Chains A and B, each alone.
Chain A
């Protein structure tokens, strides 16, 4: 399945684009997505934290991804 991942803040700068297309086997989890991204972009591993949002909610590591999901990487937030 092909996922389109929205990027913000420092993750957008690390990847160098506002969205990232990732090909994953069907039924892969958030954890597996993060492992693949860390291999491609080692600088992601230097962040204080890196969460994944699925359909506007923080997703647990074992959540399974689907092609129609709206997915985003959430680096450490700093609003306020």
Chain B
């Protein structure tokens, strides 16, 4: 299991390599990237902040939950950036390997969906005329 919260760029090829397993016929990945607009506003860059200790703990918890739900999971990797990211940068990578493809899609989606709900990481969008903490207010 590879779990990482990092202020350095994520090497996606290395992550895919890390989940290779002889018993796996499928490797599935989700790569979250920084896009240039949000709710109609032009985004200049993003700032990610994390509660480091809890974020790593919860990232690991999510990966372990996926292993419990899909016991055939061979390898799991979840990496998330923090700090300032520019348009096109990779913010998060989830990668799993499984014997067959169906479980790989399901496990990968479960991990990214749950991560977004529970892991204490916050992003602040920077526009040309201000900043907003995403999803903070109703």
Contacts and interface: CB of A to CB of B under 8 A. Distances in A.
B51 A6 contact: yes
A80 B115 contact: yes
Nearest to A72: B51
A75 B57 contact: no
Contacts of A9: 49, 122, 124, 133, 136
A10 B120 contact: no
B87 interface: no
A79 B92 CA distance: 8
A72 to B, nearest CB: 6
A75 B122 contact: yes
B136 A48 contact: yes
A54 to B, nearest CB: 10
Interface string A1-24: 000001011100100000000000
B15 to A, nearest CB: 16
A76 interface: yes
Given A74-B120, A79-B92, A80-B112, 12 more contacts: A9-B122, A9-B124, A46-B137, A47-B136, A56-B57, A56-B58, A74-B51, A77-B122, A78-B116, A79-B119, A79-B120, A79-B123
